[in-house]
Amino acid sequence: MDPLWRPSPNCGPRRGGVLPDMIVLHYTAMVDAEAALARLCDPGAEVSAHYLIARDGRLFQMVEEGARAWHAGAGQWGAVCDVNSRSIGIELDNDGAQPFSQPLMQTLEGLLPGIMARWGIGAPRVIAHSDMAPGRKSDPGRRFDWRRLARQGLSIWPDPDVAPADPTPPDEAMFRVATARIGYGADWPTADVLEALRQRFRPWAHGPLGAEDMALARTLARRFPVDAPPASS
């Protein structure tokens, strides 16, 4: 898959000589791919990403994979605090309120396997921007089809698809232990963690912490505990 090259000045070396070991998915929240490209390549904006996928399926590359793009901002995943230095950022041409187009999804499904193979990135390390910065970011949002990626080994999904209610009554402390094992910050507000988890795995859910959320968190923590290598973060 050959991307269209649109170089962005908004990048630099990865700090501490680290290599990317995760992929962060975003939505652009802009009118179209051209507007997103203009912003991501504007030195005054001080933002970028490695790739942008247009809703018609076109693939653009702005930053070499070995370089540090400025896409993640403040946040954390597991022990990693400088997510930009440890990740590949992919922007998706979508506003978060509309379904993600079929051409866009097909291009993403063609792009991810190569990145994952080149850098040895496993499916649990393909995350949402909202996962690493809940409360601040909500992309790629509740309309993104994570289950579709998981069926191809490109992300994760709980098994069974809909976790049964946990017989244990909702317990915030237990929920936070489980979500910290997944990668969510142990000191983040519980409401932000719950929203991030639901955006990705239970996008239809709202309201207070429930038995289904408990079951989901414990299932994910058991099957996909975060892998945070001891390299510089």
Give just the sign of the alpha carbon dihedral 187, 216, 164, 206.
positive
HSE-CB at 167 with a 13 A cutoff on CA atoms is: 0
Q: Which two tokens stand for residue 216?
A: 């989901």
The burial class, CB within 10 Å (0-12 / 13-18 / 19+), for 111 is buried
Catalytic residue among 34, 64, 65, 91: 91
Whether 172 is catalytic is no
- Other C-beta atoms within 10 Å of 27: how many? 24
Q: Which two tokens stand for residue 129?
A: 């921007």
Whether cis (ω within 30° of 0) applies to the bond prior to 164 is: no
First and final C-alpha spacing in the chain = 31
| Catalytic residue IDs | 91
